[in-house]
Structure 1
């Protein structure tokens, strides 16, 4: 099961072209995305209400989409506005529409009741298109695992020492650190400093080019928000230069933006990009960073996929929890609590005939 009353990243804006229909599965729902004549984005169930054919293999006609099985035509709200050869359209001839917002190059999709969609809950990722920051090319990986295993990975950075020794990690001392964990209304804030140590391999050459040849102070401070959004302030500065106290003028900074979006119970999408505040006009730096980050994320995908296969082979396996699991344990509990709340309210809505889902969002009001 998945949360419904939250915003999921469904893709990058460039993926939905002006005259095309774009299909993607989110939370077990096949959805078609398309743009009207003004360029505004819309999202509908990718299933014609007549015989169930995919709308994504239909065609766009002005501000409407036509199913290319029997010709039903649907407007932006999902209402059927034409049936070839029939003037009378059944009242139930419609497909579900979804609240969808484009912001900072990402497409945000609300899977619950559109009337409950609150755009103020969309996390701030403005660095992705802020002219004061440079950004790597947009990235996406597909995982053949449950999305919560990827969330787990992002909530415990001690794995950097062992999964990423030649990319993001470096010294095994990094795994000895204990992160500070704070509860947020819709997630967790995790703070991790690594002081007076050699830099991680993926930035060593960049730092050397800037004259930082010795040890550095490193920080990985991030918010991890429901249902799986990581926004991280990270960077490197000369050891002892005061970065921890706020003096970062001699260092380099990143604002990592990464999102895990469920596709099905056993697959998920992973979207990512790395804005930075240095060498903003250098395409070479952008490409070098993207190549290094992608290599590291492939390392993650390798170990998480192997983990998922092992778990699937023995469903009775019960993980042994330890102190390292504090953040991921809290986050899984938040998701479970929200799913339970939505299920209760959906059942109550069915009983009173309203059919409404999610009158209250515990994470929103906490």
Structure 2
């Protein structure tokens, strides 16, 4: 269910301002930290002596010291010191995973490290681009990351789950606006909607200073295995589309366990870049919106456990086209990795250059 030979977001870059960060990725416990020269390391979070998590130890300069017997390990996972003896056992090493800091994230490669080419990291430059302003956040979701992908590919739920924030009322339910679903390069699914002349949902009304009606477009974009973006624009009816307020909302799903995931999100805008009050408002609005998704996803996961993990959806409807295509792509890539362990996903642009 997990692709190994791909880059996953493991943390925001600023999370490593702390001495170290403990995080589980693809079922593996890790300890991440930044050395004094800026090097980022991710070590398996276990001392090879008596399996004590290194994350309950302490930093000693650029090394990490086990909190049980004081063994010290460097950024490469090599043991430098064993208290009480001069000889360091050759087997006293901790696995290090490849990491790259890019676009404001720490990326990690959990598979064959010989394949860990930084050029395979998707282009999410908006997250630290001076022409865009970011409102970032994180949710821990006690649900399979595939449920999160499903949710982000079918935005018709906004009317019902997000009525207080980004959803239209039932008289203009998003489901009633046709969606065009396409698959690109066998790795990207796009679900595009145009919503002309609608009453603005609360969030977009505030962004545009409360016009009576707006034109809106949105595209749910999914790159296997867990990179999602909502590309959207809104503008008052009667004004040119070229003047739309545009947002790229990143939704990055990194599996933690089979029933939980890390949800890194960032609302990126190309307007009112210096308006800190707006940045804070968007942070809260997006955070509140995605917290509503978290409730739904965790309800689903509990029901899956209760019912013995049946396939979802049990009954497919027209709105499931994009999520089902994304799941099929993931299954194809999982099969490809099993049959050819050297296969990797090369990125494609999520949004065409303008």
TM-score, normalised via structure 1 length: 0.87
CA contact (8 A) 1:167 1:202 kept: yes
Q: Which residue of 2 aligns with 1:266?
A: 259
> What is the CA distance between 1:88 and its match in structure 2?
3.1
Q: Which residue of 1 aligns with 2:221?
A: 223
Q: Which residue of 1 aligns with 2:118?
A: 119
Secondary structure of 1:16's partner? helix
Structure 1, unaligned runs of 5 or more: 346-357
Deviation string for 1:150-173 (max 9, x for gaps)?
A: 111001011111111221111333
Deviation string for 1:32-55 (max 9, x for gaps)?
A: 001112122110000011111111
CA contact (8 A) 1:218 1:234 kept: yes
- Give the total of aligned pairs: 343
Q: Distance in 1 between matches of 2:347 and 2:280?
A: 41
Q: Which residue of 1 aligns with 2:343?
A: 360
Q: Distance in 1 between matches of 2:347 and 2:238?
A: 41
Q: Which residue of 2 aligns with 1:349?
A: none
Q: Which residue of 2 aligns with 1:279?
A: 272
Q: Distance in 1 between matches of 2:325 and 2:91?
A: 42
Q: Distance in 1 between matches of 2:214 and 2:209?
A: 11
> What is the CA distance between 1:240 and its match in structure 2?
5.0
Deviation string for 1:180-227 (max 9, x for gaps)?
A: 222233322232211121222212123136xxx232211112431122
Q: Distance in 2 between matches of 1:234 and 1:87?
A: 61
Q: Distance in 1 between matches of 2:67 and 2:293?
A: 41
Q: Residues 317 and 57 from structure 1, CA distance in 2 versus in 1: closer, same or farther, beyond 3 angstroms?
A: closer
Q: Distance in 2 between matches of 1:67 and 1:113?
A: 27
Q: Does 1:325 align with 2:312?
A: no
Structure 2, unaligned runs of 5 or more: 349-354
Q: Which residue of 2 aligns with 1:208?
A: 209
> What is the CA distance between 1:340 and its match in structure 2?
3.0
CA contact (8 A) 1:196 1:240 kept: no
Q: Does 1:193 align with 2:176?
A: no
Task: Supply the RMSD in Å over aligned alpha carbons.
Answer: 2.0
Deviation string for 1:281-327 (max 9, x for gaps)?
A: 22211122222222211211122222222222222645112222121
Q: Which residue of 2 aligns with 1:17?
A: 17
CA contact (8 A) 1:125 1:231 kept: no
CA contact (8 A) 1:44 1:95 kept: yes
Q: Residues 316 and 38 from structure 1, CA distance in 2 versus in 1: closer, same or farther, beyond 3 angstroms?
A: closer
Deviation string for 1:53-108 (max 9, x for gaps)?
A: 11112222233222222222222221223223333333322111111111122111
Q: Which residue of 1 aligns with 2:4?
A: 4
Q: Which residue of 2 aligns with 1:28?
A: 27
CA contact (8 A) 2:149 2:228 kept: no
Q: Does 1:100 align with 2:80?
A: no
Q: Distance in 1 between matches of 2:309 and 2:4?
A: 28
Q: Does 1:337 align with 2:332?
A: yes
Deviation string for 1:324-344 (max 9, x for gaps)?
A: 212111211222232333334
Q: Which residue of 1 aligns with 2:145?
A: 147
Q: Which residue of 2 aligns with 1:303?
A: 296
Q: Distance in 2 between matches of 1:270 and 1:365?
A: 20
Deviation string for 1:16-46 (max 9, x for gaps)?
A: 125x121011111100001112122110000
> What is the CA distance between 1:4 and its match in structure 2?
0.7
Q: Distance in 2 between matches of 1:273 and 1:54?
A: 31
Secondary structure of 1:192's partner? strand
Q: Residues 364 and 281 from structure 1, CA distance in 2 versus in 1: closer, same or farther, beyond 3 angstroms?
A: closer
Q: 138-147 vs 75-84, which deviates more?
A: 75-84
CA contact (8 A) 1:41 1:100 kept: yes
Q: Which residue of 2 aligns with 1:182?
A: 182
